[in-house]
Amino acid sequence: AAPAPAPVPLPEYEPGDAFVFSDGRVERVIAMGDTRMTWAGLSGASYQRSRNFVVPVLEWRSGRATGRREVHGNPDALWPIAKSKSARFRVVTETRANAQASLRRSVSLWVCKTGKPRIFAVTAGTYEAIPVKCDRYSPTTMRLVEQREWDYAPELGHYVRRVTVNYLRGTTRTVELVAALSGPAASKARLTALARAARQSATTARR
């Protein structure tokens, strides 16, 4: 019998790691903490998130607006990924439009599960990836409002595809990995060129 695959641990990153996606978005690792990571795009403010990519962004700033989230439960119950695993957690989001604005608060419920590995071919390469699917529910009606699926490639240490289905808006959005760079190769000039090319390809594909 074939040996069972080794459990897949939480992603490990290093400052300088960068990922470019098919919509032109760039994710760069700026700093690593004990429980949080600091990321940034090519421009704009940095943001903080967990190593566990299913957890929404934990702290961010956009212009004068700010936001933060608290997670209740254990989303890390998905890891290390061996056989099918699941996790449930609640996310409390607090936002302010500006420093003088009143605080807005919302709550969402998430249920996540892992699936069987599949082979994915994206611009960045061909990878064996583990699907991790998360459903977001309204805490008042328990209505399913959103589904996100990440296809995580252990070989790469990052997801190679993400599909977001918004049931309230009736939209589906898919992004795929175009390039993964680190160290000196992840220069701003190189990342800018890759992001520009990705946006041009996306625009051409829509025509």
Q: pTM above 0.85? A: yes
C-beta atoms surrounding 50 within 10 Å: 19
Note the pLDDT of residue 5: 67
Over the stretch 95-136, which tens digit does the pLDDT of each residue have? 999 989 999 999 999 999 999 999 999 999 999 999 999 999
On whether residue 124 sits in a domain, the answer given is yes
Over the stretch 18-47, which tens digit does the pLDDT of each residue have? 999 999 999 999 999 887 999 999 987 899
Mean pLDDT of 53-57: 96
On whether residue 72 sits in a domain, the answer given is yes
Residue 206 pLDDT exceeds 80: no
Residue type at 124? A
CATH number at residue 146: 2.40.360
Residue 3 pLDDT exceeds 60: no
Place of tokens 């943001």: 47
- Count of the separate structural domains present in the chain: 1
On whether residue 194 sits in a domain, the answer given is yes
Nearest to 90 by CA among 106, 103, 107, 76: 107
Beta-bridged to residue 109, according to DSSP, are 90, 137
Share of the chain above pLDDT 70, in %: 97
On whether residue 53 sits in a domain, the answer given is yes
The helix/strand/coil state of 62 is strand
Give the end-to-end CA distance of the chain in Å, rounded to a whole number.
Answer: 50
CA–CA distance, 169 with 131 (Å, rounded to integer)? 24
Domain range for residue 31? 18-206
